[in-house]
Chains A and B, each alone.
Chain A
């Protein structure tokens, strides 16, 4: 076992093993690939964020005075495309997951290391292509690319953007294949399925969604391109097609996609909460089953995006019922986190602040999802800011907070240095406050009738918009701060011990940063996960 705070030698440190750019760009090490992902994900996040900043500036006044209508359409399209496909979907699985999945199961790497590198190149290639399309003028169809506007009327670079997304999709399929085979076949001796960390369960279920849903998107985007290029008519009612066919196919992927985004976030929360409550996760098995249930039922609810688009009332009823059902396993998870917290000895470290923020904001976002899943309420609320607020509560209040929480939690392990804890807590609180100020007014706006994707609005909505834009500037600070102090800690942060948080989990038994092959000898697992409040609880900082 390595000494904790001494400088880790070159042979024992994946970061120092090879310092050339080439060694990074041709690496097979899942930890390096994870870092490559995290760097590129961060870049895309700020590009997508820049689009959002421009939108919020524009929306501070009722008139369309900052950008033209067409430009505004392009802004929200590129914001959505980049945030969904180039940030949210890869962030936790390909960023944190690539690093942690092999380590959490006691493996030396993922099942297919070279495929892992290929998936990063596909991601960067597709992402760059999309950014180039953006610079060339972008698309204005919304990230949902609805026909017939995208196929017949839009005069923007739709096909370029589609192609970028198409390529990035293959990146996530490869990650999914890698994770599934890894979890099935590379678990250490004694690590049965029900001893796995919930982060592993979450990414496993996410991978199943990735491999089954993403190909449907790929074909749907191809069909869209064919319709646009050849005018074949599958989505054009005048030619015998059906625009709703596009929506069915698109949402068949895009609804499970939101579970691709939120399940890994739930996995992160399930790692952080027991650690900073010093308690086992309450109801471990139900948490694992709930993850699977969310993944499976999540495939059956996509029609709730189509309640007012012409879908039959009977199908809408069915989708509404199924959407209510999918809330049940999510609620079980929230209850179990709360039950884990109850009676624990809580430490409000930065990762815990993010995780607690997740629990509250995800709950609110989820409840508003139930409102939207109610057919009659949705007739009023669909395509308003209520929907925008709902999904940002889950995606930003939920997934982004969990991602940041995970980054902070595993930062010492990944980088081998600790970040400044006070700044971590400040940034978490600023982000939480800024987030709520940005998005809570949007629930009110939507309820009052403000449509989404509009840049001009009646004066009576301005107060809420101004509050939202003010919140956005605070939220931006909340995101820029970690960029600052985490970068600082790369060079100046104090060296980390192997287990600064006294957490359970195989990843914490290695040095910080870990050696290139993770474990000198394959560990043997003899106890359940989250062995806090037991004799195996790591009570002292592991030296």
Chain B
């Protein structure tokens, strides 16, 4: 019982510390690395929640679910991203949208 509570309190403290870290680091002038650091810390927080609170480590079925889903989600970013990365967008000037008569 105490073991459980201890693990939860430790995880909670880690999460709050990481929150402070990510917030503070956002003001450091490190350019594009801000995003990298912030998303990295977010991933770490998520991993702590998943491992300690959701017991992801205990279930290979759950890990398989997460792995497959993340892979497929990444496909959108990779393949649609390849389209956006290799084509120029020329946004039109701001125009008010046309009016319509029906919802």
Contacts and interface: CB of A to CB of B under 8 A. Distances in A.
Given A238-B94, A239-B94, A240-B91, A315 B103 contact: no
A244 B95 CA distance: 19
A303 B86 CA distance: 14
17 contacts: A152-B97, A152-B100, A153-B98, A155-B100, A157-B102, A184-B61, A208-B68, A216-B76, A237-B91, A237-B92, A303-B79, A311-B83, A312-B82, A312-B86, A314-B82, A315-B82, A315-B86
B80 interface: yes
Interface in A342-372: none
A244 B72 CA distance: 20
B100 A244 contact: no
Nearest to B101: A155
Contacts of B72: 212-213, 299
A242 interface: yes
Looking at B72, B86, B92, B100, the one whose CB has the most chain A CB atoms below 10 A away is B72
Interface in A191-228: 208, 212-213, 216, 228
Contacts of B93: 238
Interface string A385-403: 0000000000000000000
Interface of A: 152-157, 159, 184, 208, 212-213, 216, 228-229, 231, 233, 236-240, 242, 244, 248-249, 252, 299-300, 302-303, 310-315, 318-319
B75 interface: yes
A495 B101 CA distance: 59
A315 B87 CA distance: 9
A239 B80 CA distance: 20
B89 interface: yes
Looking at B79, B92, B100, the one whose CB has the most chain A CB atoms below 10 A away is B79
B23 interface: no
Interface string B69-91: 10010011001101111110101
B79 A312 contact: no
Contacts of A252: 75-76, 80
B80 to A, nearest CB: 4
A249 B76 CA distance: 8
B80 A155 contact: no
Given A300-B79, A312-B87, A318-B82, A238 B103 contact: no
A243 to B, nearest CB: 11
Contacts, number: 74
Contacts of A213: 72
A318 B84 CA distance: 13
Given A242-B89, A248-B83, A319-B79, 4 more contacts: A157-B103, A208-B68, A212-B69, A237-B91
Interface residues of B, number: 26
B26 to A, nearest CB: 25
Contacts of A249: 76
B29 to A, nearest CB: 27
Given A153-B100, A159-B103, A312-B87, A238 B75 contact: no
A471 B36 CA distance: 60
A154 B101 CA distance: 9
A238 B82 contact: no
Given A159-B103, A299-B75, A303-B79, A236 B97 contact: yes
Nearest to B102: A155
A248 B80 contact: yes
Contacts of B98: 152-153
A156 B102 contact: yes
Contacts of A240: 91
B41 to A, nearest CB: 26
A156 B91 CA distance: 28
A213 B72 CA distance: 9
Nearest to A244: B83
The 6 A-B pairs at the shortest CB distance, nearest first, are namely A312-B87, A315-B83, A312-B86, A314-B86, A238-B95, A248-B80
A240 B75 CA distance: 24
B62 to A, nearest CB: 12
Contacts of A212: 68-69, 72
Contacts of A228: 103
Nearest to A306: B83
B72 to A, nearest CB: 5
B94 A300 contact: no
B87 A311 contact: yes
Given A159-B103, A312-B83, A248 B97 contact: no
Contacts of A313: 86
Interface string B31-75: 000000000000000000000000000000100000011001001
A156 B102 CA distance: 6
B102 A315 contact: no
Contacts of B82: 312, 314-315, 318
A240 B83 CA distance: 17
